[in-house]
Structure 1
Amino acid sequence: MTSLRTRDIIALGFMTFALFIGAGNIIFPPIVAQQAGEHVWLAAFGFLITAVGLPVITIMALSRVEGSIQNLSSPLGKVASLILTIACYLTVGPLFATPRTATVSYEIGFSSYFGTSSSSLLIYSAIYFTVVMLVSLYPNKLLDTIGHFLAPLKIASLAVLGIAAFAIPSGFIPPAINNYVAAPISEGFVNGYLTMDTLGALVFGIVIIHAIHSRGVTDKKLVTKYAVIASLISGVGLTLVYLSLFKLGVGSHEAAPNAANGAIILHAYVQHAFGDIGSLFLTGMIFLACMVTAIGLTCACAEYFSELTKIPYKILVFILIGFSFIISNLGLTKLIAVSVPVLSTIYPPAIVVILLSFFWKFFNKPSHVVAPVTAVAFLFGVMDGMKVAGFDHYLPAAIEYLPLNAQNLAWLIPSSIVLIIAIIIDKVRK
């Protein structure tokens, strides 16, 4: 029975961490921190639940079902499970997350050198996705290319930024604004959606399992064990990165007052802390961070759609990269504006499926519990998505009076009530 060496286990953990740390992970904590102001650590607590806790739990859940979202969501039935799986892969793949890695890395790192014209972004994204494609064509070498080489570089650069954030004294801390005044925890919780880490974890599960298999490990218990260790290593790394970015953001008001997004804060802060050398450092760090995530997402999506459609893996890599290239040229602002309603819709049912997967063995028939709760979470997720998209005038007026509606968490209490009812019925009917 083959087992992983300690060196490979650490590399696997680094690879998992590196796959997560991409565009959203770096740009969202600073803007949350600046807007939360004096309530920054309450907002950080809520943010860490969805941006660290849920992704770690997701990898653990997937390690028990061979890394497959479809296996994880099987109690929903074949059609619903397939729809959820495809939605997750497309969202964190060619529709939103993968294109966002290119636009964010350009806007933060390269726009100050090459300008903000559409032609500059077009040339940059063409070069960027060519490199992503070349690495993605060889998924069996990911543990070597990412785990042993790119991930350590990425971690070292993030460590420099994190140490600087804590070493340089904070400036003026402004009062909280918007929803951070009254509900900083729930606002942080919902903003954690934007990192796409939980949906990313659903997709990366298969990449991590394949990386373990590439070293000859086939025993299911060992595969689960190594995946859990990798998720815990990545969870510790994510927490440290986020805490340093929150510290950076809360003290950034003087360098970037009332910033429109986290990219502006990061650029201004690094320029303030390190000067022109800092700008070059930030460019390299963001490029590396985004590229590793893009490679992981492309590999995972190509693996899944190859199994689903029987189209060869390498052809799908070309197709997915082509879509990502086209969509990335819409620009960061449009991408974020479109992705927020979609994420508000998908996250609630995804969270329900992930959490309930740990309790299947306690249900007589898991589908009779998981399916109705997920359906309710999805229904309220659609309402949240419509509200975020500005279509709330189409919703019934009674929605406004639901508990936690103002925090975009209206799905939580109805889903919990349906869960209790479904468990009682499941136990009574046997």
Structure 2
Amino acid sequence: MKKGNFVIGFMLFALFFGAGNLIYPPILGMESGTSYFAAISGFVITGVGLPLLAVTAISFVKNDARELADRVHPLFGLLFTSVVYLAIGPFFGIPRAATVGYEMSLEPFQSGELPLFLFTTIFFILVFLFSLNPSKVVDQIGKYLTPLLLLVITALILGGFLLLKTPLGSPNPNYRANPFFNGFVEGYLTMDAIAALAFGIIVVNAYRERGVHTNKAIVKETLKSGLITGVGLVAVYGSIGWIGARMASYGPFENGGDLLSFAADTILGTYGVILLGIIVTLACFTTSVGLVVACGQFFAKVTMLSYKWVIFIVTMASYIIANQGLNTILDFSVPVLVFIYPIAIVLILLTFLNKAFQGSRYVYRFAILFTALVSLYDGLSEFGFSLNRITPYVEKLPFFEIGLGWVVPAIIGFLIGLLYRAIKEPNN
């Protein structure tokens, strides 16, 4: 592989490896216990496999994720991609990254509203400055920040493997019954599959700047850098998840951050907590820069605002929301992710099947419509809306009990779309 593949692969790793990627694997390990390997396998599919598929899907098109979503309908393309960028950007993704960075680095030593305000002020000033020149993001992140991030993570992981010898405990009821599928749904919370729809164009542009212009060559090079990213993510997820599994008997823990802080203190003492704070802050910072750049490039295209004004607005909105606190952000983010994620998954998969049905809009529309109906129900349920009249019918869907009730409707929509295409477009 070329040096550029490693630089872009490391950059993509850093963009993906943010707040949720550190917090959720340890909790999965703690709750799955002896079912850990089945659970982490499911997590890897949605936490690593789908994001890399999404990045590759973007490499098939000339522009950004909107071009993929436009295959359903131009209005859908604009609305869906806008919602995706707002969700992973100023509304949830960026504020979550900043507040997790604060809670894991500064709060163990100094808590309160003022420390959060000071931390986020410095954090977002630096994010804005790094985002001003997107052409240098690859070099800044891929060459410097990612190796440092990997070095610190490796220190914690090695300490965990050498010092934590506690046997694995019994899985909780959810992971006892369906460890693989519970891990699969848990991977949603990383937000990486929908974030990849934004990050993909950064990768494509990075290769274009290096003289790679044909679609075939870009797809090939994207797969190479994606392989590097995937190996790194699987190794880190598997390792910190394993630490969580080993730490279960030391609990209970409120969340993955609490667990990792305790693990760092157990393995390396106070310096371990500081080390963990560096890991999280770097991970959250690099992800935030990538998201601000992606939002800036997208909204500069669909609005009359310049790139600098967009990233300023995105940074300020993220700054304000971040100061509302992590719990508030999480309360609103989960229902939105439950709604968006299945639609994004189906859209990504249809991209790879596009040639098989000649890109027929009927296939895209029916598959996305049927998926959206179920995912909308799931999202509204997460928000706390009472849907008693339709709940008995939705609960009868296959895989509903494991959070995948949208799968069969998506397949049915795909098949109806094929049939409709055969009727309306008999010569294609």
TM-score by length of 2: 0.95
Cα displacement (A) at 1:67: 4.9
1:338 and 2:332 aligned: yes
Tell me the equivalent position of 1:280.
Answer: 274
Cα displacement (A) at 1:264: 0.3
**1:96 maps to which of 88, 92, 96:** 92
Task: For 2:24 and 2:63, locate their aligned partners in 1 and report how far apart those are by CA, in whole Å.
Answer: 28
Check the 8 A contact 1:306/1:312 in 2, yes or no. Answer: yes
Structure 2 unaligned spans of 5+: none
Cα displacement (A) at 1:238: 0.8
The residue identity in structure 2 corresponding to 1:344 is V
Tell me the equivalent position of 2:11.
Answer: 15
Once structures 1 and 2 are overlaid, which stretch shifts more, 63-72 or 352-361?
63-72
Q: 1:220 to 1:404 in 2, by over 3 A?
A: closer
Task: For 2:142 and 2:394, locate their aligned partners in 1 and report how far apart those are by CA, in whole Å.
Answer: 47
Task: For 1:128 and 1:365, locate their aligned partners in 2 and report how far apart those are by CA, in whole Å.
Answer: 43
Q: 1:173 to 1:67 in 2, by over 3 A?
A: farther
Once structures 1 and 2 are overlaid, which stretch shifts more, 154-163 or 386-395?
386-395
Task: For 1:60 and 1:30, locate their aligned partners in 2 and report how far apart those are by CA, in whole Å.
Answer: 28
Tell me the equivalent position of 1:384.
Answer: 378
1:237 and 2:237 aligned: no
Cα displacement (A) at 1:143: 1.9
Task: For 2:290 and 2:168, locate their aligned partners in 1 and report how far apart those are by CA, in whole Å.
Answer: 37
Equivalenced residue count is 424
SS of match in other structure, 1:113: coil
Check the 8 A contact 1:172/1:253 in 2, yes or no. Answer: no
Task: For 1:55 and 1:250, locate their aligned partners in 2 and report how far apart those are by CA, in whole Å.
Answer: 25
Check the 8 A contact 1:170/1:250 in 2, yes or no. Answer: no
Task: For 1:189 and 1:420, locate their aligned partners in 2 and report how far apart those are by CA, in whole Å.
Answer: 25
Structure 1 residues 156-206: Cα deviation after superposition (integer angstroms, max 9, x where no partner): 222222333333333243322242221221111111000001011001011
Tell me the equivalent position of 1:122.
Answer: 117
Structure 1 residues 294-327: Cα deviation after superposition (integer angstroms, max 9, x where no partner): 0000000000000111311111111100000011
Task: For 2:61 and 2:387, locate their aligned partners in 1 and report how far apart those are by CA, in whole Å.
Answer: 42
The residue identity in structure 1 corresponding to 2:43 is F
Structure 1 unaligned spans of 5+: none
1:224 and 2:195 aligned: no
Query: For 1:3-402, what aligned pairs fall within 5 Å after superposition?
Result: 6-115=2-111, 117-255=112-250, 257-364=251-358, 366-396=360-390, 397-402=392-397
Cα displacement (A) at 1:383: 1.0
Check the 8 A contact 1:132/1:291 in 2, yes or no. Answer: yes
Check the 8 A contact 1:18/1:151 in 2, yes or no. Answer: yes
Q: 1:216 to 1:365 in 2, by over 3 A?
A: closer
The residue identity in structure 2 corresponding to 1:169 is L
Once structures 1 and 2 are overlaid, which stretch shifts more, 133-142 or 219-228?
219-228
Task: For 1:164 and 1:100, locate their aligned partners in 2 and report how far apart those are by CA, in whole Å.
Answer: 28
- Give me the CA root mean square deviation: 1.6
SS of match in other structure, 2:177: coil
The residue identity in structure 1 corresponding to 2:316 is G
The residue identity in structure 2 corresponding to 1:98 is I
Task: For 1:175 and 1:181, locate their aligned partners in 2 and report how far apart those are by CA, in whole Å.
Answer: 8
Check the 8 A contact 1:365/1:426 in 2, yes or no. Answer: no
Task: For 1:74 and 1:157, locate their aligned partners in 2 and report how far apart those are by CA, in whole Å.
Answer: 42
Check the 8 A contact 1:61/1:354 in 2, yes or no. Answer: yes
SS of match in other structure, 2:254: coil
Cα displacement (A) at 1:356: 0.6
Task: For 1:329 and 1:245, locate their aligned partners in 2 and report how far apart those are by CA, in whole Å.
Answer: 28
SS of match in other structure, 1:409: coil
Between the aligned residues of both structures, percent identity stands at 36
1:420 and 2:415 aligned: yes
SS of match in other structure, 1:171: coil
Cα displacement (A) at 1:149: 0.9
Cα displacement (A) at 1:394: 4.2
The residue identity in structure 1 corresponding to 2:294 is A
The residue identity in structure 1 corresponding to 2:134 is P
Task: For 1:317 and 1:228, locate their aligned partners in 2 and report how far apart those are by CA, in whole Å.
Answer: 29
Structure 1 residues 377-396: Cα deviation after superposition (integer angstroms, max 9, x where no partner): 11100111122233254451
